[in-house]
Amino acid sequence: MRTAVTDTIAAIATPPGRGAVGMVRVSGPLVPRICESLAGKLPPPRTAALRSFRDAAGARIDQGLLLYFPAPNSYTGEDVLELQGHGGPVVLSLLLRAACAAGARPARPGEFSERAFLNGCLDLAQAEAVADLIDASSRSAVRAALHSLQGEFSNRVQGLLDELIAVRADLEAALDFADEDVPWITPQTLHDRTAGLVEITADLIREAAQGRRLREGMTVAIAGQPNVGKSTLLNRLAGAEAAIVSPHAGTTRDLLREHIVVDGLPLTIIDTAGLRETSDPVEQEGVRRAWAALEKAELILFLADDRNGLTETDAALLARLPPEIETLLLFNKCDLSGGAPSRDKDAQGRIRLRLSAAGGQGIDQLAAEIKRAAGFSAADAEGLFTARARHLDALHRAQASLRLARAHGARNTSPELIAEELRLAQQALDEITGRFSSEDLLGRIFSSFCIGK
Ligand SMILES: Nc1nc2c(ncn2[C@@H]2O[C@H](COP(=O)(O)OP(=O)(O)O)[C@@H](O)[C@H]2O)c(=O)[nH]1
Ligand SMILES: [Mg+2]
- How does the average pLDDT of the chain come out, rounded? 91
Q: What pLDDT, on the 0 to 100 scale, is given for residue 3?
A: 43
Rounded distance from Cα 247 to ligand 2 centre (Å): 9
Q: Do residues 113 and 30 share a domain?
A: yes
Sequence letter at residue 437: S
Q: Do residues 228 and 349 share a domain?
A: yes
Q: Do residues 322 and 416 share a domain?
A: no
Those residues with Cβ within 8 angstroms of residue 373's Cβ, 6 or more apart along the chain or in another chain: 218, 299, 326, 328
Q: Do residues 231 and 346 share a domain?
A: yes
Distance set, CA 104 to CA 31, 191, 283 (Å): 8, 56, 58
Mean pLDDT is lowest, of 86-95, 279-288, 327-336, 379-388, for 379-388
Q: Do residues 260 and 288 share a domain?
A: yes
Q: What pLDDT, on the 0 to 100 scale, is given for residue 183?
A: 58
Euclidean distance between CA atoms 191 and 404, whole angstroms: 11
Q: How far is CA 186 from the centre of its chain?
A: 41
Q: Is 274 touching ligand 1 by the criterion CB < 6 Å?
A: yes
Euclidean distance between CA atoms 297 and 288, whole angstroms: 15
In this prediction, residue 2 has a pLDDT band, given cuts at 50, 70 and 90, of very low
Distance set, CA 295 to CA 141, 260, 320 (Å): 27, 21, 10
Q: Do residues 233 and 200 share a domain?
A: no
Q: What pLDDT, on the 0 to 100 scale, is given for residue 397?
A: 96
pLDDT more than 70, % of the chain: 96
Strands (E) across 70-134 are located at 80-87, 105-106
Q: Do residues 223 and 367 share a domain?
A: yes
Average pLDDT for 361-389: 85
Q: Is 236 touching ligand 1 by the criterion CB < 6 Å?
A: no
Q: Do residues 355 and 258 share a domain?
A: yes
Ligand 1 atom index nearest CA of 233 = 15
Q: Report whether pLDDT(25) > 90.
A: yes
Tell me the ligand closest to 230's alpha carbon. Answer: 1
φ, ψ of residue 32 to 5 degrees: the values are -60, -45
Q: Is 408 touching ligand 1 by the criterion CB < 6 Å?
A: no
Q: Is 359 touching ligand 1 by the criterion CB < 6 Å?
A: yes
Q: Is 357 touching ligand 1 by the criterion CB < 6 Å?
A: yes
Average pLDDT for 432-450: 83
In this prediction, residue 181 has a pLDDT band, given cuts at 50, 70 and 90, of low
Q: Which of 373, 404, 426 is the last residue of a domain?
A: 373
Q: Report whether pLDDT(4) > 80.
A: no
396: CATH? 1.20.120.430
Those residues with Cβ within 8 angstroms of residue 186's Cβ, 6 or more apart along the chain or in another chain: none
Those residues with Cβ within 8 angstroms of residue 380's Cβ, 6 or more apart along the chain or in another chain: 207, 210
Q: Nearest C-alpha to atom 8 of ligand 1 is from which residue? A: 229
Q: Do residues 279 and 366 share a domain?
A: yes
Q: Do residues 267 and 399 share a domain?
A: no
266: CATH? 3.40.50.300
- Pocket mutation for ligand 1, best pick of 225, 232, 246, 337 (most atoms within 8 Å of C-beta): 232
Q: Which of 98, 123, 148 is the last residue of a domain?
A: 123
Q: The domain containing residue 62 runs over which residues?
A: 9-123
pLDDT more than 90, % of the chain: 72
Q: What is the pLDDT of residues 43-93, one digit of tens each?
A: 999 999 999 999 989 999 999 999 999 999 999 999 999 999 999 999 999
Q: Do residues 41 and 178 share a domain?
A: no
Tell me the ligand closest to 233's alpha carbon. Answer: 1
C-alpha torsion angle, residues 402, 403, 406, 408 (rounded to 10) = -100
Q: Which residue has the higher pLDDT, 444 or 81?
A: 81
Neighbours of 105 (CB within 10 A): 15
Q: Is 133 touching ligand 1 by the criterion CB < 6 Å?
A: no
Do residues 215 and 388 make contact, with C-beta atoms less than 8 angstroms apart? yes
Q: Do residues 354 and 389 share a domain?
A: no
Average pLDDT for 311-335: 96
Q: Report whether pLDDT(107) > 90.
A: yes
In this prediction, residue 203 has a pLDDT band, given cuts at 50, 70 and 90, of very high
Euclidean distance between CA atoms 67 and 53, whole angstroms: 13
Q: Is 251 touching ligand 1 by the criterion CB < 6 Å?
A: yes
Q: Is 246 touching ligand 1 by the criterion CB < 6 Å?
A: yes
Average pLDDT for 227-244: 92
Rounded distance from Cα 334 to ligand 2 centre (Å): 18
Q: Report whether pLDDT(377) > 60.
A: yes
Buried b (16+ CB within 10 A) or exposed e, 269-294: bbbbbbbbebeeeebeebbebbbebb
In this prediction, residue 289 has a pLDDT band, given cuts at 50, 70 and 90, of very high
Rounded distance from Cα 247 to ligand 1 centre (Å): 7
Ligand 1 atom index nearest CA of 234 = 15
In this prediction, residue 96 has a pLDDT band, given cuts at 50, 70 and 90, of very high
Q: Nearest C-alpha to atom 19 of ligand 1 is from which residue? A: 227
Q: Domain count of the chain?
A: 3
Q: Is 410 touching ligand 1 by the criterion CB < 6 Å?
A: no
Do residues 297 and 199 make contact, with C-beta atoms less than 8 angstroms apart? no
Q: What pLDDT, on the 0 to 100 scale, is given for residue 178?
A: 67
Ligand 1 atom index nearest CA of 247 = 23
